[in-house]
Amino acid sequence: MNIQGLQKLTLLDYPDRLACTVFTGLCNLRCPFCHNASLISGGNSTIEWNEVLKFIQSRVGILEGVCVTGGEPTLQKNLSRYLMDIKELGFLVKLDTNGTRPKVLKDLVANALVDYIALDVKNSPNRYGETVGIQDFDLSPIEESMEFLLTDAVEYEFRTTIVKDFHDEADLLELANWIKGAKQYFLQSFVDGEDVLQKGLSSYSKEEITHLKEAIKPIIPVVQLRGV
């Protein structure tokens, strides 16, 4: 597995759990606001899986879960084998995904290899290609992943990182109607930084993002803010 980093303790990445986070390389999207741009190509030096697994073993009885993020983890070959190593140690597994590989998600859930899936829904359908940096983007895999999670086959969340340059209130209301029925939805505030793919993008203020949350509530009652 292409592993680009290991955060040994997180109180945020896995809701209500003490966890560590494994960062995988490679992504099939090019979101301009991506805050892990250096992971997209997967070309940086990697950490050996045995080293990661040794650390995870040392945290048995201390941590509760392991969050696997990226990049896009579902691009990793034999991902199920690596998650099996984690599950055999008794940890919960959270997977962050862009939803472009729904079959992988279904297989992981069917084999009880993930306990929580966080699906990044990037924008309303008509602005999706622009937002992920790919013209003529095919939405069908995203819709299949969303529909699967809405069956409650596994614990999940939908989330959107909102950027002034790509999201306005009309976009977010359209998106909310697209995922209507979701158990919980998070609006995440964009934070500029050195590893953002496109420089010069703008964030919403706390007051503005709170207004957007309230506008969405009639469609998705459980909508929360993160990183605000």
- Its CATH architecture, for the domain 3-226, is Alpha-Beta Barrel (3.20)
Q: What is the SS3 assignment for 155-196?
A: EEEEEEEECCCCCCHHHHHHHHHHCCCCCCEEEEECCCCCCC
Question: How does pLDDT run across 142-183, given as a tens digit for each residue?
Answer: 999 999 999 999 999 999 999 999 999 999 999 999 999 999
Question: How does pLDDT run across 173-224, given as a tens digit for each residue?
Answer: 999 999 999 999 999 999 888 889 899 999 999 999 999 999 999 999 999 9
The whole-chain average pLDDT of the chain stands at: 95
As a whole number of angstroms, the distance between CA 22 and CA 12 comes to: 14
Q: What percent of the chain has pLDDT over 70?
A: 99
Question: How does pLDDT run across 131-143, given as a tens digit for each residue?
Answer: 999 999 999 999 9
Give residues with Cβ within 8 angstroms of 121, minimum separation 6. Answer: 99, 142, 146, 158, 159, 160, 175, 178, 179
Ramachandran angles phi, psi of 118, nearest 5°: -105, 115
Q: What is the pTM of this model?
A: 0.96
Domain ranges of the chain: 3-226
Task: Identify whether the C-beta of residue 26 lies closer than 8 Å to the C-beta of residue 75.
Answer: yes
Question: What is the mean predicted confidence (pLDDT) over 100-121?
Answer: 98
Exposed/middle/buried for residue 71 (C-beta within 10 Å: 0-12, 13-18, 19+): buried
Task: Identify whether the C-beta of residue 19 lies closer than 8 Å to the C-beta of residue 64.
Answer: yes
DSSP β-ladder status, 19-24 and 3-10? antiparallel
Query: Would you state the pLDDT for residue 45?
Result: 66
Q: What percent of the chain has pLDDT over 90?
A: 88
Task: Identify whether the C-beta of residue 100 lies closer than 8 Å to the C-beta of residue 74.
Answer: yes
Task: Identify whether the C-beta of residue 225 lies closer than 8 Å to the C-beta of residue 209.
Answer: yes
Ramachandran angles phi, psi of 225, nearest 5°: -100, 150
